[in-house]
Structure formats: structure tokens, C-alpha cells
């Protein structure tokens, strides 16, 4: 056991990252903070040691073999546990170093949250932040599987430790030439005859949109479904419909964003954490975001 763990830990970590990056050697090396030459050397050393082909040249890229994917799946959890355990002990007396794996929604890639990340990095440059943007269901799953330490989630998750740190206002987004485009506020009932563009039915905002519309007496006529809010705004700009979307100060060209009356159309924003968020670095980051969001 000592022989394998001491000999293969760096190489196995490299393989795990390479699989996570779908075989992109440069990207995997960047995420590990090592030169690409070192990344390649670790993978080839692992191949030679195990006597198993893990990558196959495919033009200027590499293709992962089924053996590589299978091996990465088997060693991922033990590597995470090892990393978490070592960091937890090593960082007990040092809140200036360590790693925090932080996730946040695709809709929060601009504005307040990136500003907080930048400010935290200036205050604690020795703490590495591994960032991931994804949909809420994926972020919650990553917290449960300890792939992430901390995440911002909308809405607050069931079964995970969290605290509510804010609210996200929902506005009506209309084409710039819409009959209601000049209004400062509208009531949801004024959109009863409109064609809606919305997320798929499994998404939280889609369910809220349907609930809110039904509460005022109509079912929204959803003609187009798309996962990304940015794409919804693009389609609205082309006159294909309207939508209820989170407030965004950067109004997309060809659209207008109008507040709804009454101002009760909103979602709670939660800061959630997994069992791995026990290091001083994680606790420091948690407190920082909670206090300043």
C-alpha cells in the first residue's frame, strides 16, 4: 500500500484532472498549477508503471481510453478524501493558505459575486479558489458528493446546510419595441396574452413562472424552452416572446427590463456548504461571502 500511494498519488491526481477536462492536457495542467510538460510526463509515467494504455494520440490532442476513465472514476473519491484530510490538518494553524472549491450559478457570472471573489483574493492571496459555474441541481449534487466545499444556490437547497444571504428580484423582459416597453412597472396580468420563452419544466424559475401566472389567473403560453438566460434574452430581442428573468443591470440590446408590481416576485439566494468545508480557509471564505453579499 505504501509503495502504490507514494509512487502513484501525483500521477493519479493528474489522470483525474485530465479526465475531468475531457482529455485537454493544457487545461488540466493549468488547473493543477503545473507545466504541461510535467502533466504529460505524469500521465506517461502512470501508463508505464501500470502497463496500461491510458491516452491515445488524436491529432494534436489526446483521447482517453476506457481504462483511463474507469480508473479515474475509481480513485476520485479516495483522492478527494486524502486531499481534504491533509489540508484539514495542515491548515489547522494557518488560515492564510489552503484550497476552497467554490461553485455558483451560471446567472451570477457578473456583478456582485465576481467582485467578492476578487476582493477575497486580494485579502487572502495564499488561498486558492477553484471555481465552478453550473446549474443549481449540479452544484447541489457536487456539494453532496464533496466535489465542492461551498456554493451559492438559488433557491436554497433541501438537505444541505445553508444560510440565506439575499434575494434575487425577478423582472419582465420584453422586446424593445413591445407595447409595454416604455412602462416603469407592469402587472403580471398584463402579459396574459403574450408568448413566453422559459427554461425547461424541471427548472426552478420555470415552475415559479407558472405558479405566479396561475396565481393571477392564466397559464403562460410557453412556445420556446431554453436552458440559458442569455439565450432567452437574445430570442426576446428578436421579438419571439417575453420572459420572467432575474434582474440584470446590463440590459441586453434589443430588450427592456421592467419591474413587476407588486414587488414580491423574487427568489432566495443561499450560501451552502458540504462536510469538507471545515478548514480555516473554507471557514474564512464562508464568513467573508456571508458578511458581504
Q: Is the pLDDT of residue 91 over 60?
A: no
C-alpha cell at 156: 436554497
**Where does the pLDDT of residue 89 fall: very low under 50, low under 70, confident under 90, or very high at 90 and above?**
low
Q: Which has the minimum average pLDDT: 74-88, 130-144, 165-179?
A: 74-88
pTM (two decimals): 0.64
The length of the chain is 293
d(CA 43, CA 33): 15
d(CA 279, CA 99): 9
Picking from 176, 177, 170, the residue whose alpha carbon sits closest to that of residue 198 is: 170
> How large is the average pLDDT for residues 40-58?
89
126 vs 88, which has greater pLDDT? 126
Domains of the chain: 4-90 (1.10.10.10), 96-161+274-291 (3.40.190.10), 168-266 (3.40.190.10)
Model pLDDT, residue 3: 45
Q: Which has the minimum average pLDDT: 33-42, 75-84, 127-136?
A: 75-84
Do residues 198 and 207 make contact, with C-beta atoms less than 8 angstroms apart? no
**Where does the pLDDT of residue 4 fall: very low under 50, low under 70, confident under 90, or very high at 90 and above?**
very low
* 159: alpha, beta or left? (left if phi > 0; alpha if psi -120 to 50): left
Tell me the sheet residues that pair with 145.
none
Block residue for cell numbers 420572459: 243
Question: What's the DSSP call for residue 250?
Answer: S
Picking from 76, 61, 105, the residue whose alpha carbon sits closest to that of residue 14 is: 76
Model pLDDT, residue 107: 79
* Residue 126 phi, psi (nearest 5): -80, -10
* Residue 51 phi, psi (nearest 5): 70, 30
Q: Is the pLDDT of residue 289 over 70?
A: yes
Model pLDDT, residue 248: 83
**Where does the pLDDT of residue 93 fall: very low under 50, low under 70, confident under 90, or very high at 90 and above?**
very low
Q: Is the pLDDT of residue 192 over 90?
A: yes
Amino acid at each position: 500500500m505504501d509503495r502504490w500511494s507514494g509512487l502513484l498519488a501525483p500521477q493519479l491526481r493528474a489522470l483525474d484532472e485530465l479526465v475531468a477536462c475531457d482529455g485537454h492536457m493544457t487545461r488540466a495542467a493549468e488547473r493543477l498549477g503545473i507545466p504541461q510538460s510535467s502533466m504529460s510526463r505524469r500521465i506517461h509515467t502512470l501508463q508505464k508503471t501500470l502497463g496500461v494504455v491510458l491516452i491515445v494520440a488524436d491529432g494534436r490532442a489526446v483521447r482517453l481510453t476506457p481504462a483511463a476513465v474507469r480508473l479515474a472514476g475509481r480513485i476520485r473519491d479516495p483522492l478527494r478524501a486524502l486531499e481534504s484530510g491533509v489540508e484539514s490538518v495542515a491548515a489547522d494553524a494557518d488560515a492564510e493558505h489552503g484550497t476552497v472549491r467554490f461553485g455558483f450559478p451560471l446567472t451570477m457570472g457578473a456583478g456582485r459575486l465576481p467582485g467578492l471573489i476578487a476582493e477575497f483574493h486580494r485579502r487572502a492571496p495564499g488561498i486558492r479558489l477553484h471555481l465552478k459555474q453550473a446549474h443549481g441541481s449540479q452544484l447541489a449534487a457536487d456539494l453532496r458528493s464533496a466535489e465542492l466545499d461551498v456554493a451559492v444556490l438559488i433557491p436554497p437547497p433541501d438537505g444541505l446546510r445553508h444560510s440565506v444571504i439575499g434575494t434575487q428580484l425577478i423582472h419582465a423582459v420584453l422586446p424593445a419595441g413591445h407595447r409595454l416597453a416604455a412602462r416603469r412597472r407592469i402587472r403580471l396580468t398584463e402579459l396574459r396574452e403574450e408568448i413566453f420563452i422559459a427554461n425547461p419544466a424541471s427548472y426552478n424559475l420555470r415552475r415559479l413562472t407558472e405558479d405566479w401566472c396561475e396565481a393571477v389567473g392564466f397559464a403562460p403560453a410557453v412556445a420556446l424552452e431554453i436552458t440559458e438566460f442569455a439565450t432567452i434574452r437574445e430570442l426576446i430581442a428578436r421579438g419571439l416572446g417575453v420572459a420572467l428573468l432575474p434582474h440584470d443591470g446590463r440590459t441586453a440590446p434589443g430588450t427592456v427590463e421592467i419591474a413587476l408590481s407588486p414587488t414580491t416576485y423574487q427568489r432566495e439566494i443561499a450560501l451552502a456548504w458540504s462536510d469538507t468545508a471545515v478548514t480555516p480557509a473554507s471557514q474564512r471564505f464562508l464568513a467573508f461571502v456571508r458578511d458581504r453579499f
